[in-house]
Structure 1
Amino acid sequence: MTEVLTSPIAPGRPSTRRNDDVTRLLPKPLLVIVIAVLLIVVLTPVLYILFASINSDVSVAQGAFFPAELHLDNYVKIWSTVDLGTGLFNSVVVCGAVALVCALLAVSSAYVLVRYSFRGRLTVLRALLGLQSIPGTLMLLPVFVLFSTAATTLGIQIIGTRGALFITYLTFALPFSTWVMVTYLRGLPRELEEAARIDGASSWRILTRIVIPLSWPGIVVSAIFAFLLGWNDVLFASVMTSPESRTAAIALQVFGATQEGGAIPLYGQMMAASLICAVPVVVLYLVFQRYLVGGLTAGGVK
């Protein structure tokens, strides 16, 4: 007779604790120390910028970390000292448009590349990866010459407008965003689309009613990448913009350049302007954090 041995330990908290002990890479005391060190390394520069933005310029120049007295007027003066309002408006408009258009084009292009077989499909996929290896610095002069030639031929002013930045950022963001969506859509089950086709749904209806609602994490990652590409850019924005179409990054660059040499720079206002420009990105990450985790890990397990 064969006896069946059952474990006397009931499933529940002990099992969960055992699994946690197995999966933990470091002992708990050492893990706490590592996390504390990482937090110090990350938060110290942020706290320094925050304290310097409400400190006097002389105290910052002397190396003071904590402000002796609060100078909250730095956040008021910055709007008249630097053309920050125009820069933020241009950045939000251009980068927001790039993010929206890039996400829509990426998901539709990736759907065609993943679900349909046609001649040149593999070539397109390889080209998407190859385009990521080209530095943007090498493309500055060709893009500038191309826009100048197009302006001369068509008689339309391109350089110095928001449209020039929009086309430039979209060109560089679209390949990566498309590849992100290709990786994400490969993980979606085909059975959902096949069931919809049996019910008579067209490809467009499947894309808009099934694929896009299930692909929000990948779409958000693509959109945020495109947004940050334009928000952090200084190279192309310094060449493609005029004083009326400057982005926030260029406004900060111009303000910092004017503070070099001479009297004590306006450190407090510089730090305040930097924090103001960082707020939209931080809010963007906080709002879409749960989508970013799913989108960045899509395609990691096959």
Structure 2
Amino acid sequence: MSASAEAHRLLPRSLLVTVTVVLCAIVLVPTLYIVLASLNSDAGVASGEFWPSSFSPASYRRIWTTADLATGLGNSILVCALVAVASALLGTMTAYVLVRYTFTGRVTVLRGLVGLQSIPGTLMLLPVFVLFSSAGNYLGLTVVGTRWGLFLAYLTFALPFSTWVMVTYLRGLPRELEEAGRVDGASTLRILFRIIVPLSLPAIVVSGIFAFLLGWNDVLFASVLTRPESRTAAVALSTFGATQEGGAIPVYSQVMAAALISAAPVVILYLAFQRYLVGGLTAGGVK
């Protein structure tokens, strides 16, 4: 039975259409309002206009100087892209070892990967800050306020999840493929990068995207571990919105424009890799 037939069997067609329309409206109506508000004037948005009396892209031009969004976007894209690549690569190699080899402590490591997902990031903020601050005293390294310090913080939280995603996926790959490679004289690294990685591309993309989003959506760690020259887009947007609250006319239109610009890289990322997402998210769910 197809998915559509199964859905019609569970719900009457009229109810299914109603639920679909309501869910789409919940997502699309706020998005439409943000787009319209970004094309409206600040005074028009403040007065409660839903449909602008006049359309103007002025907010998209002003936001680059009023919020310094360019620096934040550049830092976010650089740090989050590096975190996504590093966590996907390290997670794949770590998962391959955990799945294909038996050694003392293997089960403990697997359980630890699951347990780490239950620790709130807010509990780790102070320990991470103290650790990074101490590195400057004991190692002579400046970590707090740098992009690579933020990279290390995000990688710490992204790597366990990426590893677990890859563990789940690699368990479903047949060992015969690797055995055939060994018969042909391939080394372990050659098998990993020439056989396992191409077959695991959907899961690698999913783990990379989730690692990217972890850093892109973060405000807490980026607020503490960065300086003005290294702050991310989320911090720039949060700071800009907070500093404009006491103005005579809040710059709602510019805030909406900045929000859309900040969301654009994530939307592009999903559109570019959408064909891998379904396979990667559902992989390993059925054994």
So what's the TM-score if we normalise by structure 1?
A: 0.92
Q: How far does the alpha carbon of each residue in 1:51-98 deviate from its partner, in whole angstroms, 9 at most, with x for none?
A: 000111111112111101012111111111111000000000000000
**C-alpha deviation, 1:267, in angstroms:** 0.8
Aligned-residue offset at 1:262: 3.3
Structure 2: distance between partners of 1:278 and 1:163: 23
- Greater CA deviation, 22-31 or 235-244? 22-31
**Match of 2:91?**
106
Distance (Å, rounded) in 2 between the aligned partners of 1:38 and 1:192? 43
Return the offset for 1:202: 1.0
Q: Distance in 2 between matches of 1:240 and 1:161?
A: 7
CA shift in 2, pair 1:55/1:298, >3 Å: same
Cα 1:31/1:172, change in 2 over 3 Å:
same
1:122-158 superposed Cα distances (whole Å, 9 cap, x missing partner) = 0100010111111100000000000111111122211
Aligned-pair CA distance for 1:32: 1.5
Distance 1:143 1:22, change over 3 A: closer
Amino acid at match of 1:100: V
Aligned-partner Cα distance in 2 for 1:109–1:127? 13
Q: Which residue of 1 aligns with 2:280?
A: 295
CA distance in 1, matches of 2:206, 2:182: 28
Structure 1: gaps (5+ residues): 1-15
Secondary structure of 1:67 counterpart: coil
Percent of pairs with identical residues: 69
Aligned to 1:231: 216
| DSSP 3-state at the match of 2:34 | helix
Within 5 Å, give how 1:249-260 maps onto structure 2: 249-260=234-245
What letter matches 1:205 in structure 2? R
Map 1:53-202 → 2, pairs under 5 A: 53-202=38-187
Q: 1:21 to 1:87 in 2, by over 3 A?
A: closer
Displacement of 1:20: 5.4
CA-based RMSD: 1.3
Once residues 267 and 260 of structure 1 are traced to their aligned partners in structure 2, the CA distance between those partners, rounded to angstroms, is 9
Name which of structure 1's ranges 279-288 and 149-158 shifts more when overlaid on structure 2. Answer: 149-158
Counterpart AA for 1:67? P
Q: Which residue of 2 aligns with 1:213?
A: 198
- Give the C-alpha shift of residue 22 in structure 1: 5.0
The one of 251, 254, 259 aligned to 1:266: 251
CA distance in 2 between partners of 1:223 and 1:238 (Å): 23
Deviations 1:104-124 (A, max 9, x none): 000000000000001110010
Structure 2 gaps of 5+ residues are none
- Structure 1 residue 195, shift from structure 2 partner: 1.1
SS at match of 1:158: coil
CA–CA distance in structure 2, aligned partners of residues 86 and 184 of structure 1? 37
- Runs of 4+ off more than 4 Å: none
> How many positions carry a matched residue from both structures?
286
1:36 aligned onto 2:44: no
Which residue pairs with 2:37 in the alignment? 52
Structure 1 counterpart SS, 2:141: coil
**Structure 1 residues 200 and 41: CA distance shift in structure 2, 3 A:** same
3-state SS, counterpart of residue 55 of structure 1: coil
- Structure 2 CA distance, aligned partners of 1:177 and 1:156? 28
Report the CA distance between 1:28 and its aligned residue.
2.2
Q: Distance in 2 between matches of 1:236 and 1:134?
A: 15
Q: Which moved more, 1:19-28 or 1:237-246?
A: 19-28
Q: Which residue of 2 aligns with 1:7?
A: none
TM-score relative to the length of structure 2: 0.97
Distance in structure 2 (CA, Å) of the matches to 1:105 and 1:155? 27
TM-fit CA distance, 1:278: 0.3
Residue 284 of structure 1 is matched in structure 2 by 269
Residue identity in the other structure for 2:31: V
Structure 2 distance, partners of 1:113, 1:57, is: 55
**Separation in structure 1 between the aligned mates of residue 129 and residue 210 of structure 2, nearest angstrom:** 23
Please say which structure displays the higher CA radius of gyration.
Answer: 1
Q: Is the alpha carbon distance of 1:260 and 1:21 closer, same or farther for their aligned partners in structure 2, counting shifts above 3 Å?
A: closer
Amino acid at match of 1:242: R
